Amino acid sequence: MTHILHIDASARPGIAGTDNHGSHSRHLTYQFAGQWQSGRPQDTVTYRDIGQNPPSFINHDWIASAFTPQERLEPWMKDALAESDQLVDELIAADILVIGTPLYNFGMPAALKAWVDQVVRAGRTVEIDESNPTDPYVPMLADRPRHAIILTARGGVNMSPGEEMAHMNHLETHLTTALEFVGITRLHYIAIEGQEVGGEILAKSVADAIQKVETLVDELQVALENATSLQPA
């Protein structure tokens, strides 16, 4: 059985095409989750809407607690890390991470950055090897295959890697660095572009992205079925 962690980071609560001023990134994540569960109803999903319920920003108490050895944590330190522990536990439990996020001002929304700051954590998702000062970081989530599906929406166009406006898009590169740092290296990206332009450009981008989501779900489910059939009885 596969477990999915589904995260939406858009400040817009609705879904584009259904609700006024709805979110295009939510449209993609709901398409992914709905199609996935239709094909594999036995799989489970944890849903977290950080766009409407943002994680806390890390502060002095968090930093002091996160870098204190477990055996020396005081009660107030455990309280300071309680939210982070829950978010980390959700990430560790996931086989597939699905993130729906818009591009805001060249990067990720503040709510998604707060989530990243809560889950990239020494001793929980990355180990620090003090015997190797030049490269001390050891990802802890490389213990088993995990996939991350990054479903994005942006107002501009031609902002994918290698395209003429890619230098203004730091969203996917930031997420890639953070996820690979903790050991999630099987990354898949699908984007909707042209929200500011609208019209046929946006409509085509939406249709293309939905088709790519459908194809990705099919490919991942076939790969899972094949991997399961190859396991020894």
10 annotated ligand binder? yes
Question: Does residue 23 have a known ligand-binding role?
Answer: yes
With tokens 């439990």, the residue in question is 93
3-state secondary structure the chain: CCEEEEEECCCCCCECCCCCCCEHHHHHHHHHHHHHHHHCCCCEEEEEECCCCCCCCCCHHHHHHHCCCHHHCCHHHHHHCHHHHHHHHHHHHCCEEEEEEECECCECCHHHHHHHHHHCCECCCEEECCCCCCCCEEECCCCCCCEEEEEEECCCCCCCCCCCCHHHCCHHHHHHHHHHHHCCCEEEEEEECCCCCCHHHHHHHHHHHHHHHHHHHHHHHHHHHHHHHHCCC
Residue 38 marked ligand-binding? no
Q: Is 24 annotated as a binding residue?
A: yes
Residue numbers belonging to the annotated binding site for FMN: 10, 23-25
Residue numbers belonging to the annotated binding site: 10, 23-25
